[in-house]
Structure 1
Amino acid sequence: MCGIAGIISSFDRKETLKKMLELQRHRGPDNTGDYIDRGYAFLGHNRLSIIDLSDAANQPFSDNSSRYHLTFNGEIYNYKELKAEIGSKYIFRTNSDTEVLLASFIIYGKKCLEKLNGMFSFAIWDTKEKSLFAARDRFGVKPFYYSEAAEEFYFASEIKAIRSIKWARPNEKVWVNYFCFGSYGAPSETFYEDIAQLPAGYFIEYKNSNLDIKKWYDFPERIKNLSDNYSTSQIKEKYLELLIDSVRLRFRADVQVGFNISGGVDSSLLLSLVNDYRSNKKIRAFTFYTGDERYDELPWVEEMIKQTGNPLEKVQLRVDEVPKYAKLLSDLQEEPFGGIPTIAYSKIFEKAQQLNIKVLMDGQGMDEQWAGYDYYTSQSEQVIQGAGKDSSFKTNVLNKDFISYARKPEYSAPFESRLKNVQYRDLFYTKLPRALRFNDRISMAFSTELREPFLDYRLVELAFSLGDNYKIQGGTHKYLLREIIKEFIPDKISEAPKRALQTPQREWLGNELTDFVNESLAQLERSDFQSWFDHDLIQKEWRQYKNGKKNNSFFLWQWINTSLIASSTH
């Protein structure tokens, strides 16, 4: 897990690259390196050392001929198998997955992407062809931002690195859809004009100032080509086999590994699988709590841990800490993020960093592949989990000129099943992309790598491809998964309904944090974004909220978060 940056330019951009890397240093504090093909390319890298801790694995990494130069963010979990497959076709000089990735590209070309099981964004400069090849993993776990200007091409792991080169206006069409529909932009968009992101499962080829973007991972096509002739028992056996293998692969690291746990089904399963794999050593678990028994899952977590004996780090978010962390994360995210639950989650990574644990696992991805969210059984088009019946948005406070840009997002629906189409939306457009972005930024803020065993593409494809009745049956979500995991976790957990990850956000904002809200709203009115809103109507909504209308706080968080981001854009 690292930071990458690069500039393709005929000008001398060495100092510019240095500035980009300094802004991303939190992503990889162990080493900062660069490669310069003067007059053509400037590649940079911030390293967080996880596999092969030696200096020989530092990046940018060059092949034995010095023709190809790689800057890579992520992990190739099946690198040992790929290295064995490559065999004598390439002479390896390190034990790193970085070199295996570069060797795979040299031998297989762009087809190497199909062989990779991992999370990645990377760029390879070819000094002979004077061309750049860059790619992003199947689900977009690792970020890749880019921009073009005056025959130059810039890319980086974080938006701020590109914004340090060129000023970027807010993308008002993305912002207004966020306020009206909870959309965080299309797969290629950011909240800034002229700064794009490479969509998940796509690659870039850049040569002679020409940019070519192509899809390499066609998920609907993959699903349609999967066999559906398996019996229920065969599905259970196959899924469990893949699940165990996914955990095994994600334990590959030359540093300490821990894991995050909540009181839900997915975390409980991860706890069981982790302990099965490392039965001789109890891996450290992390969980957050706020001290509010209405929301905290600590009792469920402690009950599970009592049975397994794992060391448990209980990390508390106090209400008085929220303003500081909200500002810190807004500066790092640079785009809207998910509220106080995201802040609470970030404290886990801070604690892990203090304990020198560089890798954490979590249970992200099960709900999207197995239809775990409550709205999957309704006709609702809701994209905000746990919002209830009240609207998450207050479009009445938006300026008429600004709201005229709003367009309700439309999502591809390539499947005959409505359920599959909603799952597809969540996997590639809404739930998963925003969760992965939030989690990448908060883990990297504290120089910690986050791994998601349940997002192994083999698992996602198999579960997604199953008929609706395997996912929801008799009102039970994740039906077959619950059947599969019964041997691993107690019935009272395996049969428990999905709970949204929550904190006392609604109560805190309306009570202990009223000064923080007041300051944020005042700051919003002074910001460059102030013309988007009718601030008298914002104050009216705020008064109603304080007077007891607290069923939903998402819109209030939107205004606070926007205020904090506006203050960090200068």
Structure 2
Amino acid sequence: MCGIAGIVGDLSSKELLFKMLDSQKHRGPDNTGSWCNDNVFLGHNRLSIIDLSEEANQPFTDSSQRYQIIFNGEIYNYIELKKELDYNFSTNSDTEVLLAAYIKWGTKCLERLNGMFSFAIWDTLNKTLFAARDRFGVKPFFYHLKENTLYFSSEIKALHAAGIDKLPNKKVWASYFAYGSYGMPEETFFDKINQLPGGHFLELKQGNLQIKKWYFFEEEIKKHQQIEPYKIVKKKYTALLSNSISLRFRSDVSVGFNVSGGLDSSALLAFVNQLNPRKKEVIKAYSFYTEDERYDELPWVEEMISLTKNPLEKVKLLSGEVCERSKKVSYFQDEPYGGIPTIAYAKIFEQARKDKTLVLLDGQGMDEQWAGYDYYTQNNNSIIQGVNKSPFKTNVLSKEILDLAQKPKYPKPFKDEVLNKQYRDLFYTKIPRALRFNDRVSMASSTELREPFLDYRLVEYAFAQPLEYKIKNGIQKYLLRNIVSEHLSDSISYAPKRPLQTPQREWLGTELETFVDQEIEKIEKSEFSSWFDTEVLKQEWKNYVDGDNQSSFHIWQWLNFSLLMNS
């Protein structure tokens, strides 16, 4: 897990490259490397996870010196791929395997990779840059093109450090305020800064930039469309799940995992302990809490942990920490994030780093592949749960901003509406949003987060199963619950879904009232005040404090905006 940065073109310079690398050094504190030739400057921030030797530092070149690679992520099946490659390896790193795979198979190597990745390869002979991002976009890739020069990096702040202006993308911000959208796969909240969508690659040659899709999810689903007996599906999925978690134990540093009180964490807990290849090593679990029994999941977490005896690190977040921590998280996020739960989650990675647990596994991705949300089977397209009225306050927006807002429309490639909702959440809403938040809070503490449930084989296979395997007799994620019940008690396996929450709604209107007041005042005095009807905004804030607080999302939107744009 690392950070990459590069400048290719007439405006490139070593000074700018090192400014970019310095801005994202938290992503890789173990080594900072660079390679420069003519108008090509490549840089790397390394967090050492596999092959800790200096020989595996990046930028990394092949034996012929033709190719230079910078790589962020992990190729989990690198050992298997290595056996297929006729190449004289000089390291035990997955970086060298990735480069050798590209040399042998070209762009087709992407289809063979099981991992999370964002990488760039410069071909010194053909003067061509090739860059790619993993199927679901776990690892980031941001870029800016101007005057025949391509700038790219793992974080937006690195592009700002290179001199790209920090100008808001008004359309994306407007849609965020009006509809809760975090942008489409190629967009960011900043003007002229784009991201390479997950499952895509780019090629740059002689200033000509081309972006192409390489992962065709819809086509892969067709390969699994033959309906198999429930017992066969259960057996196959269990085997895939076991293999996915085993692959993600490959590490030359310590591994732990995050746990909440839900089914997904239960599955992770059960399989982590069953499959731990280093039996003598005790796998540590991490969970956050706020000392508010209405929201904390500690009772369920402790019940689960009591069965497996994993050491549990309980990380407490108090309201008095939120003001300063929200500013810190905003700095590392660069864009709006999910609120106080994200702040609490960030504190877990801080603790893990202190404990020298540099890799954490997480349970993200099960709801989307097994139709775990209530709205999948309801006539409801909202992705914000537990709120009966709109969480958006469009009445506080100026006409200019409101006119720019566009309600997002997502592709519907399947005949079945439930599948289309799952597809939307996988590629446009829930998963991209969660992966973005999680990558940035983990890397802020120089730790690596791995998502075993987002192994593409698992996602494709589960997604393609008939609805009755996903939801039966009103029980969601039915097959998964069946699997987990073989390892943990029914009270855990068949517990109802509990959204991961904090007392955000209560804290914002009480303990954090002064903090919110200050940030709203900053908006009123800022160059962005014209985006809002500030009198209406202040009245909505007063209404919230006075008790109209069923949803806190609009308050957090304003805080997000102020912390990001007025810093």
| TM-score category, normalised to shorter length | over 0.9
User: Per-residue displacement from partner, 1:433-475 (whole Å, max 9, x unpaired)?
Assistant: 0000000000000000000110000000000011122112222
Q: CA deviation at 1:226?
A: 2.1
* Mapping for residues 62-73 of structure 1, pairs under 5 Å: 62-73=61-72
TM-score with structure 2 setting the length: 0.98
Which of 132, 155, 160 in structure 1 is aligned with 2:129? 132
Q: CA deviation at 1:11?
A: 4.3
Equivalent AA in structure 1 for residue 201 of structure 2: F
C-alpha distance in 2 between matches for 1:266 and 1:36: 45
C-alpha distance in 2 between matches for 1:322 and 1:527: 23
**Equivalence for 1:78:** 77
C-alpha distance in 1 between matches for 2:46 and 2:33: 8
**Equivalence for 2:203:** 205
**Equivalence for 1:7:** 7
C-alpha distance in 2 between matches for 1:551 and 1:229: 43
**Equivalence for 2:258:** 260
**Equivalence for 2:158:** 161
**Equivalence for 2:543:** 544
Q: CA deviation at 1:193?
A: 1.1
**Equivalence for 1:512:** 511
* Mapping for residues 300-339 of structure 1, pairs under 5 Å: 300-339=300-339
Equivalent AA in structure 2 for residue 524 of structure 1: I
- Preserved CA contact (<8 Å) 2:304 2:492: no
Residues 1:484 and 2:483 aligned together: yes
**Equivalence for 2:559:** 560
- Preserved CA contact (<8 Å) 1:374 1:498: no
User: Per-residue displacement from partner, 1:185-219 (whole Å, max 9, x unpaired)?
Assistant: 00000001111000000000000000010000000
- Preserved CA contact (<8 Å) 2:259 2:301: yes
Which of 135, 148, 152 in structure 2 is aligned with 1:151? 148
Equivalent AA in structure 1 for residue 435 of structure 2: L
Q: CA deviation at 1:390?
A: 2.1
C-alpha distance in 2 between matches for 1:245 and 1:355: 27
The 3-state SS of whatever aligns with 2:392 is coil
Q: CA deviation at 1:523?
A: 1.1
Q: CA deviation at 1:353?
A: 0.8
**Equivalence for 2:501:** 502
- Preserved CA contact (<8 Å) 1:527 1:566: no
C-alpha distance in 2 between matches for 1:241 and 1:29: 36
C-alpha distance in 1 between matches for 2:547 and 2:114: 50
* Mapping for residues 341-356 of structure 1, pairs under 5 Å: 341-356=341-356
- Preserved CA contact (<8 Å) 2:12 2:149: no
User: Per-residue displacement from partner, 1:503-542 (whole Å, max 9, x unpaired)?
Assistant: 0000000111101110111111122322111111111111
The 3-state SS of whatever aligns with 1:353 is helix
**Equivalence for 1:295:** 295
Equivalent AA in structure 1 for residue 126 of structure 2: E
User: Per-residue displacement from partner, 1:30-71 (whole Å, max 9, x unpaired)?
Assistant: 000001112x31000000000000000000000000100000
**Equivalence for 1:392:** 391
Q: CA deviation at 1:227?
A: 4.1
Q: CA deviation at 1:304?
A: 1.2
Equivalent AA in structure 2 for residue 336 of structure 1: P
**Equivalence for 1:179:** 177
C-alpha distance in 2 between matches for 1:463 and 1:439: 23
C-alpha distance in 2 between matches for 1:341 and 1:272: 24
**Equivalence for 2:432:** 433
After superposing the two structures, state which structure 1 stretch, 369-378 or 77-86, moved more. Answer: 369-378
User: Per-residue displacement from partner, 1:280-309 (whole Å, max 9, x unpaired)?
Assistant: 432000000000000000011111111211
**Equivalence for 1:379:** 379
Residues 1:59 and 2:47 aligned together: no
User: Per-residue displacement from partner, 1:535-566 (whole Å, max 9, x unpaired)?
Assistant: 11111111111111111100000001110001
- Preserved CA contact (<8 Å) 1:275 1:282: no
Q: CA deviation at 1:383?
A: 1.8
User: Per-residue displacement from partner, 1:326-385 (whole Å, max 9, x unpaired)?
Assistant: 00111111110000000011000000011111100010000110011121121111022x
Q: Would you say how many aligned residue pairs link Structure 1 and Structure 2?
A: 564
Uncovered stretches (5+) of structure 2, i.e. residues with no partner:
none
Which of 97, 101, 104 in structure 1 is aligned with 2:101? 104
C-alpha distance in 2 between matches for 1:332 and 1:147: 19
- Preserved CA contact (<8 Å) 2:10 2:147: no
After superposing the two structures, state which structure 1 stretch, 94-103 or 466-475, moved more. Answer: 466-475
- Preserved CA contact (<8 Å) 1:34 1:42: yes
User: Per-residue displacement from partner, 1:219-258 (whole Å, max 9, x unpaired)?
Assistant: 0111123242421111000000000000100000000000
- Preserved CA contact (<8 Å) 1:184 1:434: yes
CA RMSD after TM alignment: 1.0
C-alpha distance in 1 between matches for 2:361 and 2:337: 21
User: Per-residue displacement from partner, 1:140-194 (whole Å, max 9, x unpaired)?
Assistant: 0000001101110010000011112211421111001101111000000000111
C-alpha distance in 1 between matches for 2:104 and 2:274: 37
**Identity %, equivalent residues:** 60
C-alpha distance in 2 between matches for 1:312 and 1:529: 45
Equivalent AA in structure 1 for residue 540 of structure 2: E
- Preserved CA contact (<8 Å) 2:361 2:450: yes
C-alpha distance in 2 between matches for 1:179 and 1:378: 25
Which of 189, 192, 213 in structure 2 is aligned with 1:191? 189
Uncovered stretches (5+) of structure 1, i.e. residues with no partner:
none
C-alpha distance in 1 between matches for 2:386 and 2:424: 18
Q: CA deviation at 1:12?
A: 5.0
After superposing the two structures, state which structure 1 stretch, 463-472 or 503-512, moved more. Answer: 463-472
The 3-state SS of whatever aligns with 1:237 is helix
